[in-house]
Structure 1
Amino acid sequence: MTRLFRLIPLVAVALGLGLGLGACRPADQSNSPDDAPITLTYASPYPPTHPFSRADISWMKAVEAQSHGRIRIKPFWGGALLSSDQSMVEIRHGVADIGLITPIYTRGGVHLLRAQSGFYGGVRTIGDQVAIYDCLAQRFPQFDRELAGLHVLAVQGGNFPGVLTRTRAVRSLVDFKGLRLRAQTDANDVLRQLGANPVNMPMGEVYSALAKGIIDGVVAPADTIKSLHFSEVAKHFTPIRFSRGAYPARAMSDRAWRRLPPDLQRLMAASRRVWEAALNTELLKAEDAGTEFGRQNGMAFTPFPAADQAHFDALYTADAKTQAGRLASLGIDGTSVLAEAQRIIAAAGTSDPIRCAASKGPKP
């Protein structure tokens, strides 16, 4: 027994050294705590082969290289840590240090972030989507309020959605009647006006819902034909153009941000453009690949009449005004945000780059 009591302090010291608890290291040792890399976790609901994830991996490699090994990113894919509808809350509370966030699916507290994605009628490119978002976020403080506790590391635009359907092609606006479609929130009221029954569900649940016939189709861009294997459960694609905007899509918790020294905070902030450029590249490649994959696997691509597209665009613009007005009941001036988004798009014309307002003016 006496021998056992003598061993206990030695075991405690050994454990303390192994775990870094109160252990001291020589000043000249290269693996001193100050030089040890900071490991940050990254979580995504998508598999590592998805276009989003390929862009994420490009960003990880760039950050690790630019930090000269001082930052290491440990990824968790396929929803292992993060959900789609609670991702913002989960990142705030440290489920992962960095993650893919989806304000468009979040259940509450992001009313403007969710609605503003429908304010971009007439936008031309993914780059323009992101630039307009930046202008709006700079001008209207409600964006920052809804993102409290998070540091945005990438804003994501996207390929313009069309409609994938299981068995019946959409050849005109009349064909929407009776269809149960998964769609983004900003399109729901327009689809209801056309007689469709829209539902809002995370994209990760759509394949199963299509396979089981729970839904008839999905409003999604052509890249999903291959990246989410939708060609296996849907036989038709119609390129009706749903105008869409950008939204904050990658974020870091404030508590993880504060772990970083100032120079690494600056590096992370600057890495945003790397991430956004990678997303842009992967999205465009994925759209081409999805279209080609669908054709090779027997999907039918149905053109959409120009007159019906113009009618749809008018409905979408009118609905954006309604959605913006509804935010007033929550104390949010959505009408001003919509007006500014449309002013920027109109001022850009057909070739000029996006420019924010010269003066911020009064903030709502």
Structure 2
Amino acid sequence: MIKKEKFPMHLLSLICLLLLSTTTLSETFRLTAAGPQSANLPFIGVISSLVVPESNKRLQEMGSEHRIAWREAYGGSLYKWQDSLEAIEVGLTDIGWVGALWETSKMPLQNVTYYTPFVTDDLPLLVDIFNELHETMPELSQAWDNQNQLLLGASGVETYHLMTTFPVNQVQDLEGRKILAPGASATWLEGTGAVAVNGGLSTYYTQLDTGVADGVLTILSGAYPYRLHEVAPYITLVGLGAQFHGGLSVNKKTWERLPTDIQTVLSQLGKEYSHTVATEVMQRYNYAISSMQQENATITTLSDAEKQKWINVLPDIAGRWAESAEKRGHPAKATLSTYMTSFRERGGQPLRDWDVAP
């Protein structure tokens, strides 16, 4: 009878330890990335084209054994645009785009650019500034923390221009005209004699076509896909300013359970997300102008003199916004001052110093 040799217990223990270590080192973290709108929009699409594929590539390059198993859900399949902040807050998605521009109550300080028109048309510069401000101003980062999340990278839209059914050569041409300008953008018309009308990109075409409105303040990268130049063929390049409108955010509890290497990679990708979104937005902006011009839109630039007239007739909308926010306990004056100072320190020259009382 052949006698079986016992497997050495010390070798068995060593194998178990190695298996346990390998399992720990190669742990896969399951994360959901989502957005309330189509991935055709840069601030949604870049999540899928950059953040998701690059994350595991970067982890591998740095020698990490950790990996992310991504689940992606865009186009409002998980939640609608009105719920972008809450969806990340409650963990419906781990990471996604948040439209801070819609959160005037929960995130009023993040809306400062909408109350400071004519500061800058430089979107890449603007998102860089807001990434920096969120790192250096606790008041801004606290707004995200209060909603159980962390901002990884700022996003924005290019400068606003004017599209109308009639030619515009001077500010006086807006007198009595009905101009689509929803939300805070309605304040940009104060003093011009124009009447602000509410609406959205999906309703602008019909409103302009039926005479409900005579024009619209809008971003051209959004106007072209909706064919607005067909019903408002006069495009006046005014340059009301690029706008910070939200960014890539991650659920705080999700963030805290991630290992340091994954946090490092996602933090790096957050800043790259900002740069990539800004670059894609500007590419679409330039394409929109070129395409609409080729499709018989009339494109003119408002003269510097008339632009200055527009700026001069505007009331102190930034000061008014700051006073209102301060009454609700938000340090809006400090935010306004820091934003404007940061812009000047980077060589910017705002056409109006909104942080200086008139």
How high is the TM-score relative to the length of structure 2? 0.77
Could you tell me which of 299, 308, 311 is aligned with 2:297? 299
Q: Which amino acid aligns with 1:246?
A: F
Q: Does 1:61 align with 2:53?
A: yes
What corresponds to 1:158 in structure 2? 157
- Partner-residue secondary structure (3-state), 1:151: strand
What aligned pairs does 1:75-86 form with structure 2 within 5 A after superposition? 75-86=72-83
The question of whether the paired residues in 2 share the 8 Å contact of 1:54 and 1:282 is answered with no
Distance 1:44 1:207 in 2: 25
RMSD of aligned residue pairs (Cα, Å): 3.3
What corresponds to 1:251 in structure 2? 249
* CA shift for structure 1 position 119: 3.7
Distance 1:130 1:178 in 2: 35
What corresponds to 2:274 in structure 1? 276
Q: Which amino acid aligns with 1:61?
A: P
What corresponds to 2:8 in structure 1? none
Distance 1:92 1:174 in 2: 46
Q: Does 1:320 align with 2:318?
A: yes
- Sort the Cα spacing of 1:31 and 1:210 in 2 relative to 1 into closer, same or farther, 3 A: farther
What corresponds to 2:3 in structure 1? none
Consecutive unaligned residues in structure 1, runs of 5 or more: 1-24, 352-364
* CA shift for structure 1 position 271: 1.1
Deviation per residue, 1:40-73 (Å, 9 max, x gap): 2222233233333443322322223223481243
* CA shift for structure 1 position 329: 1.1
The question of whether the paired residues in 1 share the 8 Å contact of 2:201 and 2:222 is answered with no
Distance 2:311 2:117 in 1: 11
Percent of aligned pairs with the same amino acid: 19
Which is worse superposed, 201-210 or 173-182?
A: 201-210
Distance 1:159 1:323 in 2: 22
Distance 1:115 1:191 in 2: 17
Q: Does 1:51 align with 2:42?
A: yes
- Sort the Cα spacing of 1:332 and 1:48 in 2 relative to 1 into closer, same or farther, 3 A: closer
Deviation per residue, 1:255-304 (Å, 9 max, x gap): 33234222211211121122112112201211111111111222221321
- Partner-residue secondary structure (3-state), 1:328: helix
The question of whether the paired residues in 2 share the 8 Å contact of 1:182 and 1:219 is answered with yes
- Sort the Cα spacing of 1:190 and 1:292 in 2 relative to 1 into closer, same or farther, 3 A: closer
Distance 1:211 1:85 in 2: 27
What aligned pairs does 1:105-124 form with structure 2 within 5 A after superposition? 105-106=102-103, 108-119=105-116, 121-123=118-120
The question of whether the paired residues in 1 share the 8 Å contact of 2:248 and 2:270 is answered with no
* CA shift for structure 1 position 318: 3.0
What corresponds to 1:197 in structure 2? 195
- Sort the Cα spacing of 1:74 and 1:294 in 2 relative to 1 into closer, same or farther, 3 A: farther
Which is worse superposed, 113-122 or 307-316?
A: 113-122
Q: Does 1:131 align with 2:128?
A: yes
Distance 2:297 2:102 in 1: 29
Deviation per residue, 1:134-168 (Å, 9 max, x gap): 44334433212321211112102332110223x23
Q: Does 1:144 align with 2:141?
A: yes
The question of whether the paired residues in 1 share the 8 Å contact of 2:127 and 2:278 is answered with no
- Sort the Cα spacing of 1:302 and 1:251 in 2 relative to 1 into closer, same or farther, 3 A: same
The question of whether the paired residues in 2 share the 8 Å contact of 1:86 and 1:107 is answered with no
Distance 2:144 2:159 in 1: 25
The question of whether the paired residues in 2 share the 8 Å contact of 1:63 and 1:71 is answered with yes
* CA shift for structure 1 position 97: 1.9
- Partner-residue secondary structure (3-state), 1:109: coil
Q: Which amino acid aligns with 1:164?
A: M
Deviation per residue, 1:155-198 (Å, 9 max, x gap): 02332110223x23433222333444443644322313323333
Distance 2:28 2:41 in 1: 28
How high is the TM-score relative to the length of structure 1? 0.76
- Sort the Cα spacing of 1:211 and 1:75 in 2 relative to 1 into closer, same or farther, 3 A: farther
* CA shift for structure 1 position 88: 0.8
The question of whether the paired residues in 1 share the 8 Å contact of 2:161 and 2:218 is answered with yes
- Partner-residue secondary structure (3-state), 1:164: strand
- Partner-residue secondary structure (3-state), 1:332: coil
Distance 1:201 1:131 in 2: 30
Consecutive unaligned residues in structure 2, runs of 5 or more: 1-15, 61-65, 350-358
- Sort the Cα spacing of 1:274 and 1:316 in 2 relative to 1 into closer, same or farther, 3 A: farther
Distance 1:198 1:64 in 2: 48
What corresponds to 1:87 in structure 2? 84
